[in-house]
Amino acid sequence: MKNVILVGMMSSGKTTLGKKLARLLGFQFVDLDKLIEKDQQMDIPSIFSEKGESYFRDVESRVLKETALRQHIVLASGGGTPCFFDNMQVINTMGISVFLDVPAADLARRIESHGKDDRPILSGATSLRETLEQKINERLPFYQQAHLSLSGEIEVNQLLNALRPLM
């Protein structure tokens, strides 16, 4: 069976769906951001503030490539991961990539419900929804390279059924 890599905006459900899917498949769930935090021994906001986004993106790409060697995993990528370097190509070669396409209004609602303080990319945003719409538009060409795309409120069984023919 192939690895599954979830891509999409922050709060699109990559972690929540990824954990459920990994359980159903008997795979290990891997959160790329958690691997980066372990590698750097600091949280993502601290990496951004102390070392900058370009340093973070270099580390992210390296950790992604190291993770690509693993088998039987469901990987939740960071929201921006597919958009830098050759990361989307790496993602597509390591398994089945799935774009979780969630509208900006839904993302904004989810982010507001759990707080946006830990999202460096949103710091200083005056309108959360407008910022998300802008980010979606910037990232869409990368996300659309995924093998599968699912829209709206996605349930794990819907994701599993879409994946079955490709596994």
User: Which of 113, 108, 80, 104 has the alpha carbon at shortest distance from 152?
Assistant: 104
User: What pLDDT score was predicted for residue 167?
Assistant: 86
pLDDT of amino acid 113: 85
CATH homologous superfamily of domain 3-161? P-loop containing nucleotide triphosphate hydrolases (3.40.50.300)
Structure confidence at residue 95 (pLDDT): 97
Kindly state the tokens that stand for 147: 């093998």
* Mean pLDDT, residues 87-115: 93
> What pTM, to 2 d.p., does this model score?
0.93
Asked if pLDDT for residue 117 goes beyond 60, the answer is no
* Backbone torsion region of residue 85, taken as left when φ is above 0, otherwise alpha when ψ lies between -120 and 50, otherwise beta: left
Angle, CA of 65, 51 and 115, to the nearest 5°: 85
Are the C-beta atoms of 64 and 33 separated by less than 8 Å? no
Cα 83 from Cα 20, distance rounded (Å): 26
Is it the case that residue 151 has pLDDT exceeding 70?
Answer: yes
Neighbours of 117 (CB within 10 A): 9
Asked if the model's pLDDT at residue 152 lies above 90, the reply is: no
Confidence of residue 21 (pLDDT cuts 50, 70, 90): very high
Is the predicted pLDDT of residue 147 greater than 80, yes or no? yes
Order of strands across the sheet that contains 148-151: 28-31, 73-76, 3-7, 95-101, 148-151
State in Å, rounded, how far the first CA of the chain is from the last one.
Answer: 6
Residue 5 confidence (pLDDT): 98
Partners of 7 in the β-ladder? 99
Query: Region 83-112: what's the mean pLDDT?
Result: 95
